Structure 1
Amino acid sequence: MLIDWFTVIAQIINFLILVFLLWRFLYKPIVQTMDKRQQQLETRWQNAREEREKARQEAEEYRQKQRQLQEEREEILAQTRERAEQKRHELIRQVRQNVERLEAEWKQAIAREQDSFLDNLQQQMREQTVAIARRVLQDLADVELEQQVVSLFLDRLHQLSESEREQLVQSSSDSQLEVVIRSSFDLSESLRQKIIDTLEKEQITHQDNVQFTTASDLICGIQLLVGNYEIAWNIDEYLQNLERQFAQNFSH
């Protein structure tokens, strides 16, 4: 069998032309379309991965912020509890101090009231004791007691020191006032004369310069006044000493 090389070559050329045409007008567009589709898919896939990564990062940031907020919340709660505890202790301390202060003030007030009551009671006891003694001495005053009082007063005149005597004589001679003899009772003539005789004997004054008067403020006593000078014997002095002694004893 003879081969028609012209026909073979023509068929080969036709086949090549067909292949070229297929590649040019069919395969190449399909490949390009597939490449473009592949690229689009890859782009979408990349975008999806990026979106997923972005979502993951956002979720991680959200969780981190949640943890941070939780930590801040716990820290704030801890600080709040600590401040509340400190405030509670401070309030308790202030209340305790106020209670202790009020208790101390109350005790001091009670003590002051007790001291005031005792002081008033002691003062009343002293005053009543001295008042009773004064009344008793006033009620017991008689002629014999009056004579004894005058004798004690004259003894005091006799016992004056030189300086006291000179001061008394000077006051009597310089003063325009009389020598006043004050007594808690009305002196008899004999007792008055006895006093005048003693004053003249001691060269203190003379009879015409002596004035006698009674004084209710004296208790069984006699007082000599000349100018600003005074000599006295008075049971009230003993009662005042007694009252001072009472006050000292009660104060201890």
Structure 2
Amino acid sequence: MLEFHLGTILFQLVVFIILMIIIGKIGTKPVVEMMRKRQNFINEQINSAETSRKEAEAFLAEQKSELDKVRQEAHSIIERAKKQGESEADSIISAAKDRADRLVAEARVEITREKDLAIASLRDEVADLSVLLATKILEKEIDAKQYDKEMNQVLKEVGERL
């Protein structure tokens, strides 16, 4: 049966307490130190992650601000380019219109000059033909049939010269 001896129980109790003290002094210190280091490492990682998150948020906000600034600048450049293009187009159209007007005016002057030269030349021809007709009429006295015949011949000559 089971017997309990007080001496054995006390001895086992004393040995158990001594063992616990030794384990507490030797075994728990490294475990506690390891747990403390692990806790410090985890806390540092959490702080580092929090700092990185804040830096990332600040960087993201800065990048958004820069992106908005670049978009506004691009829009401004596009608007300036449009205005400059419209201005240049208006200038080119105006210059082309001025040149066309000048060419039309020069053409009108040239046409008028050519018309005047043609009229003067025609007058000279008519005068020459009139003189020719008058000399032919004066050279001979013509009756009505002869007059029509002479006129037709003179008109033929006039047509050939023109």
TM-score (norm 2): 0.61
Structure 1 residue identity aligned to 2:90: E
Partner of 1:115: 102
**Structure 2 CA distance for aligned equivalents of residues 62 and 32 of structure 1:** 45
Q: How far off is 1:65 after superposition?
A: 0.7
**Structure 2 CA distance for aligned equivalents of residues 87 and 29 of structure 1:** 85
Of 57, 80, 86, the residue aligned with 2:67 is 80
Of 37, 50, 63, the residue aligned with 1:50 is 37
CA displacement 1:22-68 (0-9 Å, x = unmatched):
98x44542232221343344543443333222211111100111111
Partner of 2:88: 101
Would you say 1:38 and 2:24 are equivalent positions? yes
**Structure 2 CA distance for aligned equivalents of residues 38 and 70 of structure 1:** 47
**Structure 2 CA distance for aligned equivalents of residues 46 and 100 of structure 1:** 79
Structure 2 residue identity aligned to 1:109: A
Aligned sequence identity (%): 12
Q: How far off is 1:140 after superposition?
A: 3.8
Following superposition, which runs of at least 4 residues in structure 1 exceed 6 angstroms of deviation?
none
Would you say 1:29 and 2:18 are equivalent positions? no
**Structure 2 CA distance for aligned equivalents of residues 87 and 109 of structure 1:** 32
Would you say 1:68 and 2:55 are equivalent positions? yes
Structure 2 residue identity aligned to 1:80: L
Structure 2 residue identity aligned to 1:29: V
In the TM superposition, what are the counterparts of 1:1-252 in structure 2 within 5 Å?
Answer: 25-26=11-12, 28-39=14-25, 40-140=27-127
Q: Secondary structure at the match of 1:50?
A: helix
**Structure 1 CA distance for aligned equivalents of residues 60 and 22 of structure 2:** 53
Structure 2 residue identity aligned to 1:36: I
Partner of 1:242: none
Provide structure 2 residue ranges, at least 5 long, that are not aligned to the other structure: 1-5, 132-162
Structure 1 or 2: more helix by fraction? 2
**Structure 2 CA distance for aligned equivalents of residues 45 and 102 of structure 1:** 83
**Structure 2 CA distance for aligned equivalents of residues 36 and 104 of structure 1:** 101
Higher radius of gyration, 1 or 2: 1
**Structure 2 CA distance for aligned equivalents of residues 50 and 104 of structure 1:** 79
CA displacement 1:96-142 (0-9 Å, x = unmatched):
22222122112211221121112111210122123213322443467
Q: How far off is 1:69 after superposition?
A: 1.4
How many residues were matched structurally?
Answer: 124
- Larger relative CO (CA 8 A, sep 6+): 1 or 2? 1
Structure 2 residue identity aligned to 1:108: A
Structure 2 residue identity aligned to 1:70: E
**Structure 2 CA distance for aligned equivalents of residues 81 and 116 of structure 1:** 52
Partner of 1:155: none
Provide structure 1 residue ranges, at least 5 long, that are not aligned to the other structure: 1-17, 144-252
